[in-house]
Chains A and B, each alone.
Chain A
Amino acid sequence: AQSVSQHNHHVILSEAASLELGCNYSYGGTVNLFWYVQYPGQHLQLLLKYFSGDPLVKGIKGFEAEFIKSKFSFNLRKPSVQWSDTAEYFCAVGPFSGGYNKLIFGAGTRLAVHP
């Protein structure tokens, strides 16, 4: 079955702490991988995506993610979080081709960053 598992539902950090959010997926075939973020009161927006090439991808606001094919993982990282990173983060997977935007989303991780 196709699925995305996000390891943590809630994460609480202090400013300047490092962040790593886990994401594992189960999906047949070649995939595209995404991290979307929803800031309080705002709509979902793309943080970063992996389609092919360098497995370490960089996104907006200093976020990066590493695709490890052998582990079916796409973990999100940031070396030093800020209060403004407080948001809900969603990992998503879709087929490399032919999927027509049919993404499978994880349940989300709520991140709270305290000053």
Chain B
Amino acid sequence: KAGVTQTPRYLIKTRGQQVTLSCSPISGHRSVSWYQQTPGQGLQFLFEYFSETQRNKGNFPGRFSGRQFSNSRSEMNVSTLELGDSALYLCASSATTNEKLFFGSGTQLSVL
């Protein structure tokens, strides 16, 4: 069974640009969560989607958004990038909620 796939693996952007990250969950998993990982703040919850609906959101500005498609694949978008958005963005899927999370390898975003 294929694991959680995140693309691209690395991204370099400049301030003010926007970026879209993609996540394909494990087949059959309907929940996709996104986390931001930085050396200073650690792992922080961004949002969670289930059956195309956002069910929970972390304390991030509105520049961070996401969506989920009918095949459970998810994208997250960050608009008007700031230097502080440089981080590893992790996607995790699970069959249902409050269950074991399966993490992807992440997308390393660098904002210059």
Q: Contact residues of A with B, CB < 8 Å?
A: 32, 36, 43-46, 49, 51, 90, 92, 94-97, 99-108
Contact = CB atoms under 8 A, between A and B. Distances in A.
Nearest to B4: A43
Nearest to A45: B103
Interface stretch (B12-20, B43-51, B79-87): B43-51
Contact of B56 (A43, A97, A99, A105): A99
Contact of B98 (A96, A106, A108): A96
A29 to B, nearest CB: 13
Contact of B31 (A97, A101, A103, A106): A101
Contacts, number: 64
Interface in B30-52: 31, 33, 35, 42-45, 48, 50
B42 A107 contact: yes
A102 B100 contact: no
B92 interface: yes
A44 B58 CA distance: 20
Given A101-B92, A102-B58, A108-B42, A94 B103 contact: no
A-B pairs, 7 with minimum CB distance: A105-B43, A100-B56, A44-B103, A100-B55, A101-B33, A100-B48, A43-B103
A32 B104 contact: no
Contacts of A32: 98
Contact of A102 (B45, B50, B99): B45
Nearest to B97: A100
